[in-house]
Amino acid sequence: MSATVRFAPSPTGYIHIGNARTALFNWLLARRAGGRFILRLDDTDRARSTDAFAAAIAEDLAWLGVRPDQVVRQSDRFGRYDAVKADLVTKGLLYPAYETAEELEYGRRRRRARGLPPVYDRAALRLTADDRARLEAEGRQPHWRFLLPNFAADPFQPERREVHWDDLCRGPQTVDLGSLSDPVLIRADGTYLYTLPSVIDDLDLGVTHVIRGEDHVTNTGVQIAIFEALGGPVPAFGHHNLLTDASGEGLSKRTGALSLRSLREKGLEPEAVAALAVGIGTSHAVEPVASLDDLAAGFDPAAASRSAARFDPADLDHLNARTVHALPFERAAPRLQALGIPPDPAFWSAVAGNCATFAEASLWWRVVTGEGLTPIIAEEDRAFLGDAARLLPPEPFDADTFRAWTGALKDATGRKGRALFMPLRLALTGLDHGPEMAALLPLVGRAETLRRLAA
C-alpha cells in the first residue's frame, strides 16, 4: 500500500498535543506504508491566519520529528477553487442563498415547532433570476450552498441517503445526508469555508488517507458527497478520539493550552510527547520510544478508543523521565556537549536514571565538579567523616571503590545502613538523594572527595 496523507492545521495559533496526535497518526501511517506526508496550511481565513503561526507549525512539527515532503497553502490556490466553484454552479450543484442568520434561525425554529428536523428547506432553490437580482439590488450578497444528493427527483423531498465508509479508527460508519442541511461552502463575503478547498486539495494532491479528529465525522459524510460530485476517488478516512485537558476541557489552538512549544520549553523530549500523543486514549500501553520509527512499528489507528482521552501533564512528566533514563549515550553525547558537559559515558550512565528532564544533567554535573555545591555536614558526623577521609582508598577509583571504602568504614566505625551512607552522600553531593554513590565517586575523584569531607 502506498499512502499520501496530509495534516491540515489552520495557522491561527500554536499547535497543541491534540494536533500533534492528528499529525502523528497521519505521519505514522505514511511512514509504515513508505508514503508521503503533506503539510497543508488551511489559511482561507486570511484575517486569523498568520505567516508567523505557519512558520511556528512547521518548526514544532520538525521538533517532533515530522518533516513534510511537501507544504501547500490554501491561500495560494484560490484561482483553482474559483474554477471548481464555477463548474459546480454550472452543474447546479452549488447555489446562491440569501437568508440572514436571523432568518435561518427563524426557519429552524418553525420547523422544530412543526416536528420537522431543523434543516435548511432549500427555499433559495425556488428563487428566480429576478428574485436574485432584486435581493442583490437590496445589497444582499449570496452565500453558496452545496446541493446534497439526498433526493430522487425533487430536491424539496429529501430522503434518507446513507453514506458509508470503513473508518480506519472507528470501523464502519454511516452518515445520513437526508438529515443534513445543504452545507454552506462559500460565505457571503466570498471567503471559502474549509469544506470545499479541502476536498479539491485532497483530489489534486492525490491524498489517499485522511486521519483527523472525530469532530469531523459528519463533515466526512458531506465531503464524500463532494468528492463524488467532483468525480474523484474518495480517500480512506479515519477519525480519532479527541484529547481534553486534565479538567475535561477540549484543547484549543487559540488558548495556547498544551502547545508543543510550551512542552518543548519545559524541556520535554519530543519522543515522549509523541509517544503519549499517539498512545493516550488507545488500547495500547504507552511506553517510551527512542524514535518515531519505533512508534510506527506498533502503530494501529484502530487502537484509538471511542471516548475522549484526558491528558494529564503528570503522565507526560513520567513518560519523559523514562525516555531520558533510556537515552543511549550516543544520543546524549552531543546534547551534553551543548550543555557544556564533557561527554563521558561514565557520567551519563551514572546520572541518566536521575534526570526527569535532560537538562537536569547539568545539576548532576555540578555535583561532580562541585561548582556551587555546599557539602552538608552535621556536627555529630564530623568524626565519622574524618574516618572516611582517612580510609578513602588511593586512586585509581573504579566502580568497586565505594563498596571497598564503605566496607572498611563500617568495620572501623560500626555504623551501617543509613547512618553509614547518608552522611557520605550529604557531604559529597550536598543532597539527600541522587545517583548511585558508587558511580559518582570515580567521577568526583579523590582530591575533591577529601575536600568535601573536610568542608
Binding residues for ligand GLU, rule: CB under 6 A, are 8-10, 42, 194, 198, 212, 216
What gap in Å lies between CA 87 and CA 79, rounded to an integer?
Answer: 13
User: And the C-alpha cell for 88?
Assistant: 459546480
Sign of CA dihedral 229, 235, 236, 237: negative
CB of 248 to ligand GLU, least distance (A): 21
CB of 418 to ligand GLU, least distance (A): 56
With a CB cutoff of 8 Å and minimum separation 6, the contacts of 123 are: 97, 99, 107
Q: What is the DSSP string of 193-241?
A: PSHHHHHHHHHHTT--EEEEEGGGHHHHHHHHHHHHHTTPPPPEEEEEP
CB of 249 to ligand GLU, least distance (A): 18
| Nearest residue (CB) to ligand GLU, 198 versus 406 | 198
| Nearest residue (CB) to ligand GLU, 194 versus 364 | 194
| Nearest residue (CB) to ligand GLU, 55 versus 338 | 55
Asked if residues 166 and 220 have their Cβ atoms less than 8 Å apart, the reply is no
| Nearest residue (CB) to ligand GLU, 40 versus 161 | 40
| Nearest residue (CB) to ligand GLU, 46 versus 109 | 46
**Secondary structure class of 36 (helix, strand, coil):** strand
CB of 363 to ligand GLU, least distance (A): 40
The bridge status of strand 171-176 relative to strand 70-73 is unpaired
Sign of CA dihedral 187, 113, 117, 212: positive
| Nearest residue (CB) to ligand GLU, 220 versus 429 | 220
CB of 31 to ligand GLU, least distance (A): 18
| Nearest residue (CB) to ligand GLU, 10 versus 241 | 10
CB of 301 to ligand GLU, least distance (A): 14
What gap in Å lies between CA 185 and CA 191, rounded to an integer?
Answer: 9
Sign of CA dihedral 194, 197, 200, 203: negative
What gap in Å lies between CA 237 and CA 416, rounded to an integer?
Answer: 65
CB of 290 to ligand GLU, least distance (A): 29
Grid-cell match 574524618, residue found: 386
| Nearest residue (CB) to ligand GLU, 195 versus 362 | 195
Asked if residues 180 and 218 have their Cβ atoms less than 8 Å apart, the reply is yes
CB of 208 to ligand GLU, least distance (A): 14
CB of 275 to ligand GLU, least distance (A): 22
Sign of CA dihedral 42, 48, 51, 52: negative
Question: For residue 39, what are the β-bridge partners?
Answer: 7, 71
What gap in Å lies between CA 426 and CA 406, rounded to an integer?
Answer: 15
What gap in Å lies between CA 326 and CA 38, rounded to an integer?
Answer: 32
What gap in Å lies between CA 47 and CA 36, rounded to an integer?
Answer: 30
| Nearest residue (CB) to ligand GLU, 85 versus 212 | 212
| Nearest residue (CB) to ligand GLU, 57 versus 94 | 57
Sign of CA dihedral 146, 150, 151, 156: negative
| Nearest residue (CB) to ligand GLU, 193 versus 333 | 193
CB of 198 to ligand GLU, least distance (A): 5
User: And the C-alpha cell for 113?
Assistant: 415547532
CB of 19 to ligand GLU, least distance (A): 8
